[in-house]
Amino acid sequence: MERTGRSDDAFRMPDALWAQLEVLLPKRRGRKRNKGGRPPLDPRRVADAIFYILRTGMQWKALPRELGSGSSAHRYFQQWQRAGVFETLWAVGLLHYDARKQIQWTWQSMDGAMGKAPLGGEKNRPQSD
């Protein structure tokens, strides 16, 4: 899917990211012709919808119609999550970042904040229980 210059392209996945994601997706099962039902969705469009939800934090049912059905996007999200797609994509992205920026693997830090406990007592006064 090539970018078209439309206003909703801002929510479309870049081609380079799609190329990385596409190879990780589970293979589609073959469909029997007489079985009926809806055809599978375009995985690129589903990925655009999933990442839109993840970026905005909105509810699945609030997904704009231009991006597809929130229920269908959620179903694919669950399937891809169970298949390990997002964990693998994260690991691949981390390796690419390491190759560019050299992550210092031997030094790690956690984000935190320190502050006085609200009932910790005052200086030169007894501590609270």
Domain that holds residue 75: 48-102
Q: What share of the chain is helix, strand, coil (3-state, %, to 5)?
A: 50, 0, 50
Which span out of 17-31, 39-53, 97-111, 112-126 was modeled with the highest average pLDDT? 39-53
Q: Is 82 within a domain? A: yes
In-domain check, residue 23? no
pTM: 0.69
Residue 37 to residue 126: CA distance in whole angstroms:
72
What amino acid occupies position 68? G
Express each pLDDT in 23-41 by its tens digit: 999 987 766 666 677 788 9
**What does the DSSP assignment read for 21-57?**
HHTTSPPPPP--TTS-SPPPPPHHHHHHHHHHHHHH-
Q: Does residue 74 fall inside a structural domain?
A: yes
Domains identified in the chain, total number: 1
**Residue 53 counted as domain residue:** yes
